[in-house]
Amino acid sequence: MAAQPIYNVSKKYNAILQAGEVLFCEGYESAQPLAVTKKAGVSVGLFYRYFENKQALLAAIMVRHLNVLHAQISQDIQYCGNAMDALECVLVSTLRYFRQHQGLIKLFFMEIGYGDAEATQQLKVARQTYRKILGSILKEGSSQGIFLDAKLMDVEIAINSIVGTINWTLYDLLVVQNKNIKPDNLATRMLAFLSRSLCEVADRSS
């Protein structure tokens, strides 16, 4: 049975995102624009008003999830005692959230990935938010004497290292190995690896 028509513009947009996510989780081919709009209770024309294709819809769904995740992380790290705790919180929160939505994450990796120019543009603001969170943690860690001294640390490279570790580990796990995410165990392993490079010089000089 088709959904009842929706008249509020914002609700229509969100209805398309919600319907799209449900169908994407059933399979990439299930999320055809006609099927998405039928489930959302809107016209196909409205779909193309917002999205060029279903790849753009998938990217928009990812943006919405990332915004939710970033808001959650920003709130959680306020209660961390130091920068290392905050970094661990970011890793744990990210991996736990991705575990809840790992079908969607896997689909994004398989069908779009991070090399798609249009998807990259859509994700730009969300990615910058995540990078700013990490950057503030790294700088705070330097000032606390936990991470490398600010004069020795290349923050942008450090951020790339953290993000790259998360992304490529998940890609290998979900796509290459076709396994499930084990958030807490994976976060512990990542933190051990990352902390060695972030704290190496600080440890030697102590």
Residue type, 164: G
Instruction: Give the whole-number percent of the chain exceeding pLDDT 70.
Output: 91
Domain end call among 51, 71, 86: 51
When divided into structural domains, the chain yields a total of 2
Regarding whether 126 and 176 lie in a shared domain, the answer is yes
Regarding whether 189 and 123 lie in a shared domain, the answer is yes
Across the chain, mean pLDDT equals: 90
Residue type, 75: Q
Structural domain range at position 102: 54-205
What is the CATH classification number for the domain harbouring 182?
1.10.357.10
Q: Are 23 and 35 in contact (CB under 8 A)?
A: yes
The 10s digit of each residue's pLDDT in 136-170 is 999 999 999 999 998 889 999 999 999 999 999 99
Q: What is the mean pLDDT of residues 36-51?
A: 95
Distances, alpha carbon 196 to alpha carbons 83, 130, 132, 158, in Å: 14, 22, 22, 12
Is the per-residue pLDDT at 175 higher than 50? Answer: yes
> Which tokens is 116 given?
């798609």
Distances, alpha carbon 3 to alpha carbons 15, 25, 42, 53, 105, in Å: 10, 19, 8, 21, 27
In the prediction, which pLDDT does 7 show? 53
How far the first Cα of the chain sits from its last, in Å, is: 68
pLDDT bin (cut points 50, 70, 90) of residue 204 is very low
The 10s digit of each residue's pLDDT in 114-143 is 667 787 888 899 999 999 999 999 999 999
Overall residue count recorded for the chain in this entry: 206
Q: What is the mean pLDDT of residues 180-200?
A: 93
pTM listed for this prediction: 0.87
pLDDT bin (cut points 50, 70, 90) of residue 77 is very high
Q: DSSP of 112-178, one letter per residue?
A: TTT--HHHHHHHHHHHHHHHHHHHHHHHHHHHTTSS--TTT--HHHHHHHHHHHHHHHHHIIIIIS-
Backbone phi, then psi, for 201, in 5-degree steps?
-70, -40
Regarding whether 105 and 38 lie in a shared domain, the answer is no
Regarding whether 167 and 106 lie in a shared domain, the answer is yes
Is the per-residue pLDDT at 42 higher than 90? Answer: yes
Regarding whether 194 and 133 lie in a shared domain, the answer is yes
Regarding whether 134 and 58 lie in a shared domain, the answer is yes
Rg (C-alpha) for the chain, rounded Å, is 19
Instruction: Give the whole-number percent of the chain exceeding pLDDT 90.
Output: 80
In the prediction, which pLDDT does 115 show? 67
